[in-house]
Structure 1
Amino acid sequence: MLMHYSENTANPLFKNADIAVDLFFILSGFVLMHSYRKKLLLGLSAREYIRKRIIRLYPMFAISMAIGIPALLIAGAAGLADYPLRAMIVASLNNLLFIPYLGDHGVGNFVGAAAQFPVERFTVGEIFPANPSAWSLFFEMIASVALLVLVRLQKRDLIRIIVGSAFLLLATGALLGWEHKGAVPMFFGAGWGTHNFFVGFIRVAYGFTMGVLVYLLHEKPLPQPFGGVLSGILRNDIALYVLLAVLVACPFGIKGLFPMAVIFIVAPLMVYRGASIAPSGRVGAQFAHFLGWLSYPVYCLHFPIGRLVFIYFPHSQQHPVQTIAISVALTIVVSVIATKLIEEPVRTYLTRKFASRKREGLKKAGSVV
């Protein structure tokens, strides 16, 4: 959120925050294995599983689109988007169906309506124009479907997928870096736009499968002395928070070597170690629960809300700190309200609506196992 809000200011924050998406893919593979592995192996149908994933992801995404579509139209009216009306309609209809829009139009994000922002600096080809952050949710849904196969694979097969996708990720990272910077640095921040859309499949294939493998490995201790060193560095949840903050706040990419080290080494180890760490007391548990509860709505809502704040705040360019602070505060407030009053009741209703005795019986059987 802070990376996006500050990207067009004089002092962008958290330049390496996009690696959090790769951490998210790994964590997602781990969490879905934890939540659904036994149920799928016990007979939970593919249709019911996918229905559960849609019920989990879509309501908040729909809320974000209800804000994001008007925000995109307003951006166009303010001269901060070069989408023709027809393209906006087609893109929005596609996105509402969770289908990417592969276009070549651009948007000036988080610059304010009064700013003279050159068209050549527009962000071009966002596959979810009304809510650009939703690109990773599309690939998350693809990965959710892939879990139906991954859950039944042996470790050696998972390793083959990880090695193959890692090689492709390195190759595309080198090609994209060469294309954008004229040298051969590594660029891993792909998948969000038309010009790098297909790299997103490689990115999620590596991260999600790695999360599945980490889940299968996490109950076995790492070999000494490596396991002891990892446990010594990440002693508790506070150390995990600090490490994550350091990773995203690091201002140096070192020609792609820093994100490469995080994606292929640090992030998997963080998930592996984090699975064995309990929260620090009652307060730590409540804090972790709150962050987990708030993270998805904030991720969904921050982009469209920030767009509106930057457009309507009269001095967004002269006072970017105030604009960012307003955007953050409004995002958190709307996230809490939307989750409590809309998203959670809707998910509860949909879950009850599509529940059946057979599914309830399966749930009880799974709890016994």
Structure 2
Amino acid sequence: MMAGMSGCASMTARSPQRLLLLDGLRGIAAISVMGYHFGHVFHVKNLFARGYLFVDFFFILSGFVLTLALEPRLAKGWPPSAFIRARIIRLWPMAALGAVAGAMVMFATGGSGTVEIALTLLMALAMIPLTGIRDLEAFPLNGPQWSLLFELIANLVHAMLLQRLATKVLLGIAVISGTTEALVIFTYGSNRVGPDSLDWYAGLPRVAFAYTLGICFGRLWQSRRTRIESHWLVPFALISLLPIALCFTNGWLSRASGDALSVLVAMPALFWLAACGSVPSRLERVFSGLGILSFPLYAVHLPILKLFSHFDQSPITGVAALATSLMLAAGLGFTIDHRHKAKSASAQKLGEAGDLSHSQSSAKGKVDRQPPVEA
């Protein structure tokens, strides 16, 4: 569910600088989700007890970025099937890596029998959740995989249907799904819905609201109307600290009320401020690095935390688990980014050579020069 900015086909020269703020925020979001899982795995209270709220930020970001990258290309005749194939190529390998890591950890720690682990792994690799089982996650090998499945479903619906709908219709869908999400939050007592096997379907309004709203934001951003300029530090600090601040409201604001206000009101408003903001040039590499780190960290951190906690739950082991997760994610992220840039540069050179020699058809040249879809 990590949304990248390099796939936006209609950016201006200044756009990459503006969107780096969102790159930095998705890195902070992934770190916060890791902090939330760290508290559960190591049984310690920390300031990231509401870090699960950042999953909604990821869904908004995915809808926003893929609107910039997808809709102009579909309008020019790019087949939806090609888009879905690109999304699977983008998301599945990291989801598979997380599932394999989870299977290895479960086997090493004696969590289940070999046959059971193998069958669970096959289902995870096929992106098939376990459903209807109490006290079990839909993807027990690597819990966060549920959101990657939901994002792929949202991507499919976007390409096949949502991109054809008017923005006013999409806003209506967002209102209906947001109202449904509020009912779910107050029914379950929080917005931590979606990962569990027994009631996985409760996460559908969650992704429907956030993703659809992200599409609306993307179209509004493209129109260049109603942009609200603000200092980059305002949305960055407020979004980053929002789940932490909620940890101090238990005395006067229930968890359900805080979660609902956060994901339905505060986070969308702050997201729009972030989409309209820009970062100083001196911080561009930092924010870009956070964005590169985010997807691998989100996809692989939980098995690592579980492995370390199985042998020891001391503070030193916890710090080592966090450091290992960050270093592994950074290695994966920067390796993938380097290979992607090299592939894009090679494709661009081939496209230019084709234009000069007239050895490629005009249609193929246009396809080759299309920027990749990343999110």
> What TM-score results when the alignment is normalised by the length of structure 2?
0.77
Cα offset for 1:280? 1.4
1:4 matched residue in structure 2 = 37
Counterparts in 2 of 1:205-216, with a 5 A limit?
205-216=208-219
Say whether residues 1:361 and 2:371 are aligned partners.
no
From 317, 323, 326, the equivalent of 1:323 is 317
Consecutive unaligned residues in structure 2, runs of 5 or more:
1-33, 352-359
Say whether residues 1:133 and 2:136 are aligned partners.
no
- Contact residue 128 and residue 135 of structure 1 kept, 8 A: yes
Paired with 2:53 and 2:270, the residues of 1 have a C-alpha distance of 13
- Contact residue 96 and residue 124 of structure 2 kept, 8 A: no
1:161 matched residue in structure 2 = 173
User: Are residues 360 and 248 of structure 1, via their aligned partners in 2, closer, same or farther at CA, if it must alter by over 3 Å?
Assistant: farther
2:102 matched residue in structure 1 = 68
2:232 matched residue in structure 1 = 237
Paired with 1:298 and 1:165, the residues of 2 have a C-alpha distance of 29
Paired with 2:175 and 2:368, the residues of 1 have a C-alpha distance of 35
Paired with 2:322 and 2:233, the residues of 1 have a C-alpha distance of 23
Consecutive unaligned residues in structure 1, runs of 5 or more:
106-123, 178-186
- Contact residue 68 and residue 219 of structure 2 kept, 8 A: no
Cα offset for 1:345? 4.3
Cα offset for 1:244? 2.1
- Contact residue 39 and residue 49 of structure 2 kept, 8 A: no
Cα offset for 1:165? 0.8
Structure 1 vs Structure 2 CA RMSD: 2.7
SS in 1 for 2:186: helix
Paired with 1:174 and 1:360, the residues of 2 have a C-alpha distance of 53
Cα offset for 1:200? 1.6
Cα offset for 1:194? 1.2
1:47 matched residue in structure 2 = 81
From 30, 33, 38, the equivalent of 2:72 is 38
The one-letter code of the counterpart of 2:239 is: L
Cα offset for 1:103? 5.6
1:104 matched residue in structure 2 = 133
From 179, 199, 208, the equivalent of 2:202 is 199
- Single out whichever of 91-100 and 7-16 deviates more from structure 2: 7-16
From 135, 143, 151, the equivalent of 2:163 is 151
- Contact residue 60 and residue 300 of structure 1 kept, 8 A: yes
- Contact residue 29 and residue 209 of structure 1 kept, 8 A: yes
The one-letter code of the counterpart of 1:270 is: L
The one-letter code of the counterpart of 1:168 is: T
Paired with 1:203 and 1:189, the residues of 2 have a C-alpha distance of 10
Deviations 1:101-131 (A, max 9, x none): 22637xxxxxxxxxxxxxxxxxx21111111
Paired with 1:4 and 1:46, the residues of 2 have a C-alpha distance of 35
From 20, 26, 29, the equivalent of 2:60 is 26
Identity %: 24
